[in-house]
Each structure stands twice: as C-alpha cells, then as structure tokens.
Amino acid sequence: MKLSLNIQPLHTWIDVKNEPLLISGPCSAETEEQLLNTARLLANTGKVSILRAGIWKPRTRPGEFEGIGSIGLEWLKKAKEETGLPIATEVATASHVEECLKAGVDVLWVGARSTVNPFTVQEIADALKGVDIPVMVKNPVNPDLSLWIGALERINNAGITKIAAIHRGFTSFEKTSYRNVPMWELAIQLKTICPELPIINDPSHICGNRELIPYVAQKALDLDMQGLMIESHINPLVAWTDAKQQLTPEALSKIISELNLRVAAS
Ligand code: PEP
Ligand code: MN
C-alpha cells in the first residue's frame, strides 16, 4: 500500500529552534498564571519550538475536568505575545476550529478520541477548508492504522498541506507498564507507506508516568521520528489532568539534553 498525501516538509512550516522538534506545555490550561509561568520557563530553556495546552479536553468518563474553554485562547495568546512561541491546541468540533482561527492559534491537533470518528474528523476538515494552518493528527485510541490514515486523508483533502502525525500509543486490555502501548510497528508502517509524512512522538501519553519518558523519547528518535510532544507543568504534582506524566520545564530540559540525537533531516 502507498499513501500519497500532498504535504509540505516539516521544516518549511515550523521554525525548529533546537533539534529534535519539541512541542511542550501543560496537558490542560488551568489558570492564566499556570500557563504563563509554564510558558516562560519553557521559552527560557531555548529547546521548545511550539507551546501546547489543551483547553477543550475530551474525557473518557464524565465528571472530570473538561477544559477551561475559550478563555484559554486568551491566555495562549498572551503566552505567545510574551514568549514568541507559536501556540497549539486540540480541536474536536467545527466551532473549536473557528474559534482557534479567529484567535490566531498557530497549530491545531486532532486528539486520539476524535481520530476514531470519521464524522468528527470530517467536520473538522470541513471547517478547515480554504485555511492554511498546520494540523497534527494523533493516532486513534485503538490500533487501527486505516482510521489514522483516513483522518490524515480527510484533513489533506480539505486542502491542508502542513500535516504531521502524532504517535501517542494505543489502548490495550492487557495491563502493561505503559498507559498506551506504543506498538511501534504501526508508526513504522505509516512511515513506510508515506515516507514524506512527519511523525511526532508523544511519550507523555504512551508512558502515563514521568519515569519512562526518556526511554520512549530515545526510542522515537532512534526510529527517526521528527519530533516530540511532551507535557510540562509548572507544578506537575497538582496538575488538574495527567499529573503523573507531566514534567517540570527543568526536568524536560534535562531529558532533552541527555537524548542521543539521531533525528532524520526532513
Ligand atoms: C492530550 O494531548 O492532552 C490528550 C488528550 O491526548 P490524547 O488525545 O492523545 O489522549
Ligand atoms: Mn494529556
């Protein structure tokens, strides 16, 4: 099988400040102070190229924090103004896309719980028609390569050419040391059928805990993945979501310095 997407190389649409491409920031924007303080420290490391923060959080179970909502866009804009970092957030509906475009968000991503649903992805793709914004597509929660490919195709068919895939691991019934098993072979297969597609690894959601992150990040680089998305928080222990897997900006910086770089030119 061959997947042909009409895409532009990653380095033409992201200013990579430091190799590997690093996208970081909190799982969720919680307060203006939390987001700005985290962003400042991340910018000071000199290693981060894009600031991420979720403001609409698709939770598996009801009753958990579902994101701060649109006010988070204002905080992201402030963080960008102050640090100069481009900003990224997750979109799951057409109205999320519209709000992000109005607010000047630089990069959008489709989350793992959205990639599983072709209607949701198509709704997002339709809202993107005629827009020239980078979009990253996380793998679906289940290990179905066709769903991942289908979502990438829907976004590409809408005219988006600045596309990357994010490998965040897959749900498994078996208990493992991972939160989401990496099943590296699926990412490798995607790369094989579409060599021009940049793949960014998300060790945070694969590991589900801070301790494993360096090993998964290193493995991703050894497999020539083009970048890493790693969650960070000014005070991970009190994070409102994904507290076990977030790193302080200092810990993140140390891990990145210790990685053995083998990033492929793209
Ligand atoms: C996230 O990036 O915080 C997130 C919700 O990720 P995923 O869609 O991979 O579960
Ligand atoms: Mn998260």
Which ipTM was obtained for this model?
0.98
Cis peptide before 20 (omega within 30 of 0): yes
Q: What is the mean pLDDT of residues 57-76?
A: 96
Ligand that lies nearest to the alpha carbon of residue 233, given by its number in the listed order: 2
Threshold 0.95, pTM exceeds: yes
Nearest atom (ligand 1) to Cα of 139: 9
Residue 36, token pair as written in the block: 């700005």
User: How many Å apart are CA 181 and CA 131, to the nearest integer?
Assistant: 34
Task: Evaluate: CB of 167 within 6 angstroms of ligand 1.
Answer: no
Q: 168 CA to middle of ligand 2, Å?
A: 10
Query: What is the pLDDT, as a whole number, of residue 121?
Result: 98
Query: What is the pLDDT, as a whole number, of residue 264?
Result: 53
pLDDT at residue 265 greater than cutoff 90: no
Task: Evaluate: CB of 111 within 6 angstroms of ligand 1.
Answer: yes
Task: Evaluate: CB of 138 within 6 angstroms of ligand 1.
Answer: yes
Query: What is the pLDDT, as a whole number, of residue 22?
Result: 98
User: Going from the N-terminus, what domains does the chain have, and what CATH number goes with each?
Assistant: 18-59+66-258 (3.20.20.70)
Q: pLDDT tens digits, residue range 175-204? A: 999 999 999 999 999 999 999 999 999 999
Task: Evaluate: CB of 112 within 6 angstroms of ligand 1.
Answer: yes
Query: What is the pLDDT, as a whole number, of residue 11?
Result: 95
Q: What is the phi/psi pair of residue 109, to 5°?
A: -135, 150
User: How many Å apart are CA 93 and CA 221, to the nearest integer?
Assistant: 32
